[in-house]
Structure 1
Amino acid sequence: MISNENEFKRRTSLSSSLRRLQKRHGTTSTGGLELIEHDYSQQETDVECRPSPDGNARDNANHYLESDQAKTEDKSFVIERTFGSMHCTSILLGVLVSFGSLFSVREIFMNCGGLIPALFVWISAGAMMFVGAQCYAELATCIPKSGGDFVYLYHALPTPMPAFMQVWMGLVMGSGATISALGKMGGVQFLKLVCRRCDDIDRSSPLVIIVAALIICLLIMMHCRSSLLSAWFQVSLTCIKLGSFAFIIALGFVHIVTGRTSNLKENMWYPLPTNQASPMVAFAVSSMSFTGWQSLTFVTEEVKKPEKNIPYVTSFSVLIAIGLCMALNISYATLLTPQELLSSQPIIMLIGDKVLGSWSKLVHLPILICTLSDINIIILIVSRMFFSAGRERQSPSLWAMLNVRYNTPSPAILVMLPIALILLVLDISSVLSILGPFQWLTSAMVVATLLIYRIRYPDRDRPFKVPWAFPFIYILYCIFLTSLAIYNNPRVLGLVLAIIAPAFPLQIILIRLRRPRTFLRAVGNVTRFLQKLLLVAKPDDSGQDINL
């Protein structure tokens, strides 16, 4: 296989002619546009003529070709299932136990009025997230295709427009605004951790932008190199993160065991600090902290035994996240006074100053780890949505191709890089406020498709099935959160509509309308050039096809 790979790389170099490449790989015609397909079984094998054991010279080329084809016929050119239960658990815990556990505590305590109502809010929000996670788990086992929200909306609804809107929002907000904002935060935390003179550094500083660009580029390169490598990197980040949180929890429980509970008693219950405080706002904030439990549905085709791992790992991870958030809140209430909990300074900084003393700079490490973890997971899930969109002809066909050497969707990954780098120089923090309402509304639509699939395909095999009441409960819950967000900030609705609006004409112009043959020929030339440049080819999806 090494010689075959070297031969393929030699023949697909930029200096090789298109005729020679087509002769080797074959072509398929799609609407007048020729796209190159990769077929391992059709590769030539260079062998020499050797004498047979009986002394008679004969050509062994056919023998070696037949044996090589027999080995490659069993291995299709698709994304490999490399994610085990450990990788899946680290992905979910990495996104569930993140910034919400560090920065949303003050807002929850301020809108609740103490530890007891705050714990009730965390449990209630966690229970709703558990219901939604169960609904997504049924969809993932019923429709074992990668792509998450895009796949479920595309196959369930009569129009592809809602699914295309997911791709558009993933392109603008997921791969653009979110990754660039997290990259800047990671740059700030890294500089504060390693540099003594960077305590007051601004996020718009050129040095921060350079470090953020390096972080984003390195993570994207890692994903292009190996999906399994990125999964193991996520395992290590999650372990470090959980270790940091376990240290904070241990500090709080040591104070309780040793009788230092004065702060805990004061934080149990107190009047709401302001007239604008509302438990509903705390409920919405805690719900936003639990987002990301649907991440595994975007990588279903890469999960080993998805019919078992996705439901079990999702349930286990959500329950662990609820328990960790409650334990962290108890530790915060034990270590800090009510005035410190409600102050504007981040809680993690206050704990570092009180506990670590001169080593307080180490508190920037868990924040940096959370940043790297979130960027890593966003690249993973958004790229799989782009890959699925390309496979369903809702995005450029190049996005649906895999690297022939590493079996990674490198075009779908690399498309995020220029957008994130461009938005690094812009201040888009205000736009991120629309992510919550849009995600809740999308989740309501996706869970509604669960009812559509049950009615449309009642006989389909469902390894995991939830009660009928779960979809209705979660849909009402998402509608409530969306309405609450729009009521508290009507400007959010305008931002959502302004960002989504370009998706309608783009979908009509680029996908629905009949395009001139000259345009298709130009796109074909660009696609072939990028295929040879990136060494990518269309995968064999025969093992992933599902009749819907």
Structure 2
Amino acid sequence: MYSVKLGARLQTATTVCKVTALLTIIVAGIVHIGQGHTENFSAPFKTTNLTPGGVALAFYAGLFAFTGWSCVNTGVEEVCNPYRNVPIAIFGGLAVPTLGYVLANVAYHAVLTNDEILSGIAVAYAFGERKLGFFKWAILACVAVSAGGIANINIFVFSRTYFVGGRDGLFPRFISMINVQRRTPQPSILLMFILATIYMCLGDIKSVLGAYSFFKAGGECVAIAGIFIIRRRHPISDNTYKVHWLFPAIFVVFFLLLSVTAIVFDSRKFLPPLIFLLLGVPFYYMSKSRWWQRGHLATVNSK
């Protein structure tokens, strides 16, 4: 709310902190393996739930860690030289976390048993307690800073979504207002703070994260499916950033299969978020109607 530049610097600092912690864990894990400790890899899939539902849940759990690449699209209006910097950020946002998290997971499994990983304690802290001695407290601090970084980037991303909704007339217009001194979308951030506080009171952290991953994946799937409609309606120009149609097609098909599998095998967890998500369809068409635009919305906007 105070400054976009300060928020960007905070994001850089939290990212450096997270990468440093990951590198420490990876190096310690490699040293542990190099000392001949490979017993945890003797039966790696012994307790794995390889049912379709279990695999789908594993993907949704991983999505929370690996979907940072999409955040840059939301802030494209605020990115300098987007035709150069957005693709770099997307590819970097895919490659760096994938490499870092895969190696970190190898390190975790080398040092900890499956039961210890599933115990509910922060895995990085359990790892630090086992391998890093006094420095476990530094890892714990890095975990906290990392969580703050995730919150910081989510505030940036989703406040822009509300902001555009207000600008396009889908939400009340005040949500699209910007503080003229700070040049930040303060009403949108305040609205998001209120909604996030309500959501956090509705369930435990795992259920909230599960629903969040489902919502985010569903929204991305719909948005990427919309590429085909956009290409048909808007002819390609010299400035169009074009991707081969096969990539969005694979993405959409994969996530549809993943969503159907998750709902069929764990309907109690994923059916309520799906119903809640689908409520957006009638609300969208209602918000575009004359009755809403000239009636209740006009009243709210005038006040």
Whether the 8 Å CA contact 1:383–1:413 is kept in 2: the answer is yes
The residue aligned with 1:391 is 167
Q: Classify 1:444/1:275 alpha carbon distance in 2 versus 1 (closer, same or farther; 3 Å).
A: closer
Whether the 8 Å CA contact 2:176–2:188 is kept in 1: the answer is yes
Whether the 8 Å CA contact 1:401–1:409 is kept in 2: the answer is yes
The residue aligned with 2:46 is 272
Note the alpha carbon deviations across 1:277-327, whole angstroms, 9 max, x for none: 667243443344312321111111100000111012211221111111121
The residue aligned with 1:403 is 179
The residue aligned with 2:77 is 301
Q: CA deviation at 1:338?
A: 5.2
Distance 1:518 1:392 in 2: 16
Q: CA deviation at 1:511?
A: 5.5
Note the alpha carbon deviations across 1:89-137, whole angstroms, 9 max, x for none: xxxxxxxxxxxxxxxxxxxxxxxxxxxxxxxxxxxxxxxxxxxxxxxxx
Structure 2 unaligned runs (5+)? none
Distance 2:243 2:300 in 1: 49
Q: CA deviation at 1:462?
A: 4.1
Distance 2:215 2:158 in 1: 16
Letter in 1 for 2:259: T
The residue aligned with 2:31 is 254
Distance 1:238 1:310 in 2: 18
Distance 1:378 1:408 in 2: 15
The residue aligned with 2:224 is 447
Match of 1:470 among 225, 234, 247: 247
Q: TM-score, normalised by structure 1?
A: 0.49
Match of 1:350 among 106, 126, 149: 126
Distance 2:250 2:237 in 1: 24
Whether the 8 Å CA contact 1:261–1:334 is kept in 2: the answer is no
The residue aligned with 1:229 is 6
Mark the structure with the bigger radius of gyration.
Answer: 1
Distance 2:51 2:219 in 1: 28
Alignment of 1:356-371 (within 5 A): 356-357=132-133, 360-371=136-147
Note the alpha carbon deviations across 1:416-447, whole angstroms, 9 max, x for none: 23334455555464354333333333222211
SS of the aligned residue for 1:236 comes to helix
Distance 2:13 2:134 in 1: 27
Letter in 2 for 1:446: A
Structure 1 unaligned runs (5+)? 1-223, 527-548
Note the alpha carbon deviations across 1:235-284, whole angstroms, 9 max, x for none: 0111111111111111112234xx4122x354154452266666724344
SS of the aligned residue for 1:241 comes to helix
Whether the 8 Å CA contact 1:431–1:495 is kept in 2: the answer is no
Match of 2:15 among 196, 217, 238: 238
Distance 1:351 1:326 in 2: 15
Identity %: 27
Distance 1:414 1:234 in 2: 20
Q: TM-score, normalised by structure 2?
A: 0.85
Alignment of 1:52-201 (within 5 A): none
Letter in 1 for 2:35: R
Note the alpha carbon deviations across 1:153-183, whole angstroms, 9 max, x for none: xxxxxxxxxxxxxxxxxxxxxxxxxxxxxxx
Q: Classify 1:384/1:515 alpha carbon distance in 2 versus 1 (closer, same or farther; 3 Å).
A: closer
Whether the 8 Å CA contact 1:444–1:475 is kept in 2: the answer is yes
Q: CA deviation at 1:514?
A: 5.6
The residue aligned with 1:290 is 66
**Does 2:234 align with 1:460?**
no
Match of 2:272 among 473, 476, 494: 494
Letter in 1 for 2:36: T
Whether the 8 Å CA contact 1:440–1:481 is kept in 2: the answer is no
Distance 1:371 1:275 in 2: 28
Letter in 2 for 1:293: W
RMSD, matched Cα: 3.0
Q: How many residues align?
A: 299
**Does 2:257 align with 1:480?**
yes
Letter in 2 for 1:497: I
Q: CA deviation at 1:344?
A: 5.0
Letter in 2 for 1:348: A
Distance 2:165 2:11 in 1: 25
Distance 1:393 1:298 in 2: 18
Distance 2:222 2:295 in 1: 37
Q: CA deviation at 1:333?
A: 2.7
Alignment of 1:498-537 (within 5 A): 498=276, 500-501=278-279, 504=282, 508=286, 512-513=290-291, 520=298, 523-524=301-302, 526=303
Whether the 8 Å CA contact 1:226–1:408 is kept in 2: the answer is yes
Q: CA deviation at 1:515?
A: 7.0
Q: CA deviation at 1:520?
A: 4.5
Whether the 8 Å CA contact 2:215–2:277 is kept in 1: the answer is no
